[in-house]
């Protein structure tokens, strides 16, 4: 089962996303509303994936994504950016970052996460993106 951290400044979205994903076979190990919480949770719980809202109020989700990848040890989570806005609004920023991909919040699902991770796995031919295969 994929272990996931959700980072968003909306308590309503955090709860809705947690319920949705857990019902679709994704283990939401923690939620965070800012970078400090996200970094603590990621270091402590070692999720395979972090869903990070691009617009975190006063913070940039892209900065949080970079910090999660650089500051959480030798096995950082794969970061998937999420937003209420369309991907094309952020295409250049997403392309320049080292994130696994983007999912619009309206399209968020366990299958969408697994599909992005499968694409990353193919791109990195060899090791598994999520550590161990699902059973």
Cβ-contact 99, 60 below 8 angstroms: no
Give a yes or no: residue 128 inside a domain. no
Per-residue pLDDT of 50-74, as tens digits, reads 999 998 988 889 999 999 999 988 8
pLDDT at 16: 97
More confident residue, 122 or 73: 73
Is residue 43 one of the residues assigned to a domain?
Answer: yes
* Residue 96 located in a structural domain: yes
For residue 60, what are the domain limits?
A: 2-123
Query: What is the pLDDT at residue 83?
Result: 92
Report the alpha-carbon distance of residue 97 to residue 63 in Å, rounded.
10
> Where is average pLDDT lowest: 70-74, 85-89, 114-118, 128-132?
128-132
- Whether residue 66 is contained in a domain is answered as yes
Residue 47 and residue 66: Cα distance in Å, rounded?
A: 16
- Say if 61 falls within a structural domain: yes
Q: Is 25 a domain residue?
A: yes
Q: What does the pLDDT average to over 71-83? A: 91
CATH number at residue 9: 3.40.50.2300
Domain count, the chain: 1
pLDDT at residue 127 above 90? no
Six token digits for residue 23? 């019902």
In a domain, 135, yes or no: no
Distance CA 92, CA 56 (A): 19
- Establish if 83 belongs to a structural domain: yes
Provide the whole-model pTM: 0.86
């Amino acid at each position: 089962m994929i272990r996931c951290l959700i980072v968003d400044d909306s308590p309503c979205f955090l709860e809705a996303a947690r319920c949705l994903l857990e019902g679709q076979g994704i283990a939401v190990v923690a939620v965070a509303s800012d970078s400090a919480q996200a970094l603590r949770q990621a270091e402590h719980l070692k999720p395979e994936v972090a869903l990070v809202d691009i617009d975190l109020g006063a913070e940039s989700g892209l900065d949080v994504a970079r910090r999660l990848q650089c500051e959480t040890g030798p096995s950082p989570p794969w970061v998937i950016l999420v937003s209420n806005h369309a991907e094309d609004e952020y295409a250049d920023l997403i392309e320049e970052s080292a994130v696994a991909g983007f999912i619009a919040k309206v399209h968020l699902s366990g299958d969408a996460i697994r599909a992005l991770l499968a694409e990353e796995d193919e791109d990195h031919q060899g090791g598994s993106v999520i550590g161990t295969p699902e059973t």
